[in-house]
Amino acid sequence: MGEERIAYVVDDEEVVRRSLVLLLRSAGFAAWAFPSGEAFLRASAEGLPFGCVLLDLRMPDLDGLSVQRRIVAQGLDMPVIIVTAHGDVPLAVEAMKLGASDFIEKPYDGEALLQATEHALARGAEARARSREAAEAAERIAMLTTRELEVLRGLIAGKQNKEIARDLGLSPRTVEIHRANVMEKLAVRSLPEAVRIALSAGVATQGAG
């Protein structure tokens, strides 16, 4: 299931929904269609697998831009491609400012739409992986004491144990103990691994030493 490429078609025109679903399925995607933004948002609130949302901009009641705003408000972690008529490019750009990945103009080329969906899914999966990695790194960093965090920042800055000891008013031996504790709590065996976790958690941006 994790390898399955999923797309959600949100469009009020049945002919468009049907043709898009057929196109996506012929290319190996699992595709589901929704006749309105409200229907998609209800389903997503109940829980949908990760996938790319192909969202029509011009729909009655709740238009694509409003749906995109709701997607952001709900914290729905899925890439969105706006499907738009030629004259609606400014609105599509507005949707991208709100977080949409891309937009496709009607009449769209089938191959271009499939490629855009593929790219959006790949970028979305990468972003989710980075987000998970950052969250896990932050959890590990949170286990460090204030002093251990200061030592880690010194290490990130490329300082030797003696320099860190001087900066913090500690003995080199105490710094070695803190450094060992840092490595143990972060569950790493090398300094580069510790640095990678610290960078992922944003520690380096907070200053070193």
How many whole angstroms separate alpha carbon 80 and alpha carbon 7? 10
Query: Rg of the chain over CA atoms, in angstroms?
Result: 24
143-206 under CATH 3.40.47.10, yes or no: no
Q: Is the pLDDT of residue 208 over 80?
A: no
How many whole angstroms separate alpha carbon 27 and alpha carbon 15? 19
pLDDT digits (tens, 9 = 90+) for 193-206: 998 899 888 886 44
Report which DSSP code applies to 204: G
What are residue 84's phi and psi, to 5 degrees? -135, 155
Q: Is the pLDDT of residue 32 over 90?
A: yes
Average pLDDT, the chain: 89
Mean pLDDT, residues 40-55 taken together: 93
Residues of the chain with CATH 1.10.10.10: 143-206
**116 pLDDT tier (thresholds 50, 70, 90):** very high
Strands (E), the chain: 6-10, 30-34, 52-56, 80-84, 102-105
Mean pLDDT, residues 102-122 taken together: 90
Higher per-residue pLDDT: 85 or 41: 41
6-131 under CATH 3.40.50.10470, yes or no: no
Write down the pLDDT at residue 1.
38
Beta bridge partners of 105: 84
Q: What does the block give as tokens for 149?
A: 């965090």
How many whole angstroms separate alpha carbon 56 and alpha carbon 9? 8
Mean pLDDT, residues 90-106 taken together: 86
Secondary structure of residue 103 in the 3-state scheme? strand
How many whole angstroms separate alpha carbon 112 and alpha carbon 118? 10
pLDDT digits (tens, 9 = 90+) for 142-191: 999 999 999 999 999 889 999 999 999 999 999 999 999 999 999 999 98
Residues of the chain with CATH 3.40.50.2300: 6-131
Write down the pLDDT at residue 3.
58
Write down the pLDDT at residue 207.
42
Q: Which of 82-91, 126-135, 145-154, 188-197 has the lowest mean pLDDT?
A: 82-91
Mean pLDDT, residues 46-75 taken together: 91
Closest CA to 71 of 85, 91, 59, 54: 54
Percent of the chain with pLDDT over 90: 59
Report which DSSP code applies to 102: E
